[in-house]
Amino acid sequence: MDLRLTLSVMNTLYYVHDPMCSWCWAFRPVWTRVQESLSNEINVIRLLGGLAPDSDAPMPQHVQTTIRRHWETIQQRVPGTRFNFDFWTTCKPRRSTYPACRAVIAAGAQGEMYAEAMILAIQQAYYLQAKNPSDAEVLIALAGDIGLDTYRFAADLQAKETQQALLRECESARKIGARGFPSLIVALGGGYASVAIDYCDAERMLYRIIAAFAD
């Protein structure tokens, strides 16, 4: 079925995410199809929400257990979503997603298409290859894999301007009402409205978005 719909005026849809958010990974197939089906009259703006700030401390065991259970829940609720649980034994987890968020910004500095490529590379490395995207060396290797200038990327990854850009995106996400990841939020007449996420049905998700603009 052709899911393409049109609206009469330009509208803005915000997608608030974190590349190390497991529910964002689960949402990826539906979100990809939704984007392919949205009218060109809908302006999609991606915002990094910053799930967990910088930390060098090992992730406490109870937090590891909680996140592992999230992965198990997602596999049960979202058919087709895969995780490599070797991550928890082969890596030294830290509760820190800001490095991965900055990597998306640093990649985008070399071309907007690289931001999306970096998001996917981080997700695949984390969830399928049991690599830790909290580590700079992992992120720099991924930058090389997607064709970036790794020297420039490494410098941008640590740059103060990149951190400031991340904090601005996080603040913007909070201002429009994002309370979790992923979040879809439409701009309506100076205000904002959240759209309930459907992790399994792209058509239903698309119609929810269109209905939100119609309200």
Close Cβ partners of 76 (under 8 Å, ≥ 6 residues apart): none
Is 76 domain-assigned? yes
172 inside domain? yes
Q: What is the pTM of this model?
A: 0.94
pLDDT in tens, 22-36: 999 999 999 999 999
- Residue 128 domain-assigned (yes or no): yes
Please report whether residue 2 resides in a domain. Answer: no
User: In terms of pLDDT, which residue wins out, 39 or 150?
Assistant: 150
Give me the percent of the chain exceeding a pLDDT of 70. Answer: 95
d(CA 27, CA 70): 14
Q: Say if residue 40's pLDDT is above 90.
A: no
Residue 25 lies in a domain: yes
Contact 118, 143 (CB under 8 A): yes
Kindly state the average pLDDT of the residues 190-213. 95
Report the SS3 class of residue 188.
strand
Per the domain annotation, does 93 fall within a domain?
yes
- What pLDDT score was predicted for residue 4? 40
Q: How confident is the model at residue 78 (pLDDT cuts 50, 70, 90)?
A: very high
Name the phi and psi angles at 194, rounded to 5.
Answer: -80, 150
Q: Is the pLDDT of residue 11 over 60?
A: yes
- Helix residue ranges per DSSP H, the chain: 22-37, 61-77, 87-90, 98-108, 112-127, 136-145, 150-158, 160-175, 202-214
Radius of gyration of the chain (CA): 17
Angle at 46 between CA 41 and CA 48, to 5 degrees: 165
State whether residue 105 is helix, strand or coil: helix
Residue 204 forms part of a structural domain: yes
Q: What is the number of structural domains in the chain?
A: 1
Q: Report d(CA 93, CA 96) in Å as an integer.
A: 9
Q: What are phi and psi of 11, to 5 degrees?
A: -130, 155
Instruction: Produce one character per residue of 21-50: b if its CB has 16 or more CB atoms within 10 Å, e if not.
Output: bbbbbbbbebbebbbebbeeebeeebbbbb
- Residue 1 covered by a domain: no
Its domain, for residue 89, covers: 11-214
- Mean pLDDT of all residues belonging to the chain: 94
Which CATH number goes with the domain that contains 34?
3.40.30.10
pLDDT tens digits, 155-194: 999 999 999 999 999 999 999 999 999 999 999 887 999 9
pLDDT at 10: 60
